[in-house]
Amino acid sequence: MKENFWTLVLQKLVENLLSVKVWILFSLLAVSTKMLLIGLVTGAEWCAVNGGAISTICAMREAFKISKVKSEDDTRDLMV
């Protein structure tokens, strides 16, 4: 294990907390959970909205990772 392992872990944690997607997910989950507790949405609606948003954000993140790797590979089409 590297000597600065925990420093790198802390740095990665801070970078992730500064990420916009983390705040979007946190906000969405907080608001929708409050609405669920108040009774404005049902459990099925809560699952559909949050599941859809989380899966969309994760899918876009992976798509951008793939496009970055492809762009460094000198290929013409970025999204394969």
Angstrom distance (rounded) from CA 32 to CA 49: 8
Angstrom distance (rounded) from CA 50 to CA 74: 37
DSSP 39: T
Higher pLDDT, 17 or 45: 45
Rounded to two decimals, what is the model's pTM? 0.61
* Coil vs helix vs strand at 73: coil
Stated as kind and residue range, the H or E segment containing 24 is helix 20-38
For residue 65, the model assigns a pLDDT of: 81
Angstrom distance (rounded) from CA 8 to CA 16: 12
pLDDT digits (tens, 9 = 90+) for 24-66: 889 999 999 999 999 999 999 999 999 998 898 888 888 888 8
